[in-house]
A and B are shown apart, each in its own frame.
Chain A
Amino acid sequence: MLPVQPIGCNSLNMSLWVIQRDLLLAMRRRADVLTTLFFFIIVVSLFPLGVGPEINMLRTMAPGVVWVAALLASMLSLGRMFSSDYLDGTLEQMLLSPQSLSMLVLGKALAHWLVTGVPLVLMSPVLGLQYDLSTEALLVLTASLLLGTPVLSLIGAIGAALTLGLRGGGVLVSLLVLPLYIPVLIFGAGAVEASAAGLGAGAHLSLLGAFLLVSLVLAPWAAAVSLRISME
């Protein structure tokens, strides 16, 4: 069934296998990947139409707009993280596997990040030009998104696991998860602003890195607990 049999079946191989499998599935339905990306592009391009073309204002708004759009884009696709496996029953099999569920969920979250987060990161410099950001600001924006979007996927995994199989789950997951995204948004958008103001974005990026490390450790465990609760 799978082209590559998992080599030794410890937890690390398990999560690598899950990432590989999810990427394979995502590539088969390429449209899902692109919809998230196009959503991000459209939202970012909408703001100047609403706010007006005045360039100085756009430049100050750019980090906030790009970050909020990244937040919404990654949150929209959270529902798909577990739902396809939940519907066809593979999720139950995964729960029964001897390997640790947290590593499996970590794989799922990183796969979600690769499918939704990385395209946003790659696209953000182009959109930054739309807002006439300086090259240095663009670099910091991309770096902050690179550090921030995995945190969004990891925390989002908890929300996705909790709202598995609920009607109206999409809206519910945003209600659960958005308050938890706020620190990432503040330091993400703040990084670009600080570098623009000449203060240097070192502090912000290191804090984003701290969020990433903490959520890498805690979020999969919490999402695993949530999965067991939802699948009881």
Chain B
Amino acid sequence: MIWASWSDFFSMGGYGFYVWGSYLVAFACIAGEIALVFNRKRTLLKHLSLIHESTKEEKRNETTS
């Protein structure tokens, strides 16, 4: 373990702002991208299920009327 203490680790030899700045943005980009993909799929599935519901409704009306 080359770091004396946790605070030493976070200060990163004085360059903490730059190192953590880049790693935080990296983590944010990755997390953001995953969230976007999941969101896109969720809205699509919701949209598809609405269509599915309405088509089932129409079929039921046609058969009953």
A and B in contact, CB less than 8 Å: no
- A contact residues vs B (CB 8 Å cutoff): none
